[in-house]
Structure 1
Amino acid sequence: MFDLDGTLSDTRHRLHHVASTPRDWNAFFREARHDPPLTAGIDLAREWSTRCELGYVTGRPERCRRDTERWLAEQGLPVGELWMRRERDFRPARVAKVELLRSLARERTIEIVVDDDVQVCDAYREAGFEVLRADWMETAPLLRQVQERGRT
């Protein structure tokens, strides 16, 4: 399972939309289709796809599905299922994403989860998942801060 923002895609160009209140989440997610790829993450996803079925899990809301699937295809990433946050789910990523992965683990074996968010990685580990923290994007403390607070 690979996260998107900060793991496969570089979000820094759109962080200004959530840098101050009120946060403009619609603009933040709308601009995701223009994210540059993070080569280290893309390469790792391709490598893992030779060993197992790849999946993508993201805190992006469901309304971003079409743009997200298009972005994944444009990067030449292997086709895999994409699990997204339900609309109006404003919980912190460390809660929403772990709940999603737990439900998936009832039906599938999750070999590894790759995510950039330290608190999400800690929550995944506490839930019993093997985790690789994506640390290849330059530090983006604002992204981590807004992921933790949820969408308020």
Structure 2
Amino acid sequence: MRRIVLCDLDGTLANVDHRLHHIKDGNNDWDAFFGTSSADTPIEPVIEMVRALAAAGHAIHILSGRREDARADTEEWLARHEVPYERLVMRGLHDHTPDDDLKRGWVEADYDLGEILLAVEDRNMVVNMYRALGLVCVQVAPGGF
């Protein structure tokens, strides 16, 4: 049966360590944070897992907290690193909703929970939200931020 895999991007598929300084220690330069995303390095083990899930026939839907104005760079990055996906959902330009609430809203509005095989995520609060919905969630890194 074809099912959906929900997958995060930043910190899950893409290593964002090189740009975290833009939003840490009192910095709030989200334009610079998102504007340097094309230089992210791939997190290969997670990308390999996503490729295997896609090869098994599952639909990969990327739910990203990145702003919509980063879509072109994001799509180029995904293509360059050969990340298979059927759908890319991104936050609105002026949407500051916390990631767990943002993704819960997307899931509740757009999906039947029974069609979701699993979620792949790094942030604790989003992992906890998926699990509270009764979904299996693979947490790929500690994400206490």
Same fold (TM > 0.5): yes
Counterpart pick for 2:89 among 83, 89, 93 = 83
> Post-superposition shift, 1:83?
0.6
- Cα deviation per residue 1:22-48 (whole Å; 9 max; x = unaligned)? 410000001111100001111111011
Higher strand proportion, which one?
2
Percent identical: 32
The residue type equivalent to 2:81 in the other structure is: Q
1:134 to 130, 137, 140: 140
Query: How does the TM-score come out when normalised to structure 1?
Result: 0.85
SS in 2 for 1:82: strand
| Partner Cα separation in structure 2 for residue 132 and residue 49 of structure 1 | 16
Aligned counterparts of 1:127 and 1:97: Cα–Cα separation in 2: 12
The partner residue of 1:93 within 89, 99, 121 is 99
Contact residue 2 and residue 114 of structure 1 kept, 8 A: yes
For 2:80 and 2:110, the matched residues in 1 are separated by: 26
Which residue identity is paired with 1:17? Answer: H
> What corresponds to 1:148 in structure 2?
none
Cα distance in structure 2, aligned partners of 1:67 and 1:110 = 27
Q: Tell me how far apart the structure 2 counterparts of residues 107 and 67 of structure 1 sit (CA, whole Å).
A: 30
User: Counterpart of 1:21?
Assistant: 26
Instruction: Specify the alignment match of 1:109 in structure 2.
Output: 115
Which consecutive unaligned segments of at least 5 residues does structure 2 have?
A: 1-5
Query: Which residue matches 2:3?
Result: none
Q: Distance in 1 between matches of 2:121 and 2:112?
A: 20
1:49 aligns with 2:59: no
Distance 2:96 2:138 in 1: 25
Give distance in 2, aligned partners of 1:73 and 1:36: 13
- From the superposition, tell whether residues 102 and 31 of structure 1 become closer, same or farther in structure 2 (CA, over 3 Å): same
List runs of 5+ in structure 1 lacking aligned partners. 146-152
- Return the offset for 1:107: 9.1
RMSD across aligned positions (CA): 1.7
Instruction: Measure the CA separation in 2 of the matches of 1:108 and 1:75.
Output: 30
- Aligned equivalent of 2:76, options 30, 50, 70: 70
Alignment coverage as a number of residue pairs: 139
SS class of match (1:111): strand
Structure 1 residue 84, shift from structure 2 partner: 0.7
What CA distance in whole angstroms lies between the structure 1 residues aligned with 2:85 and 2:103? 20
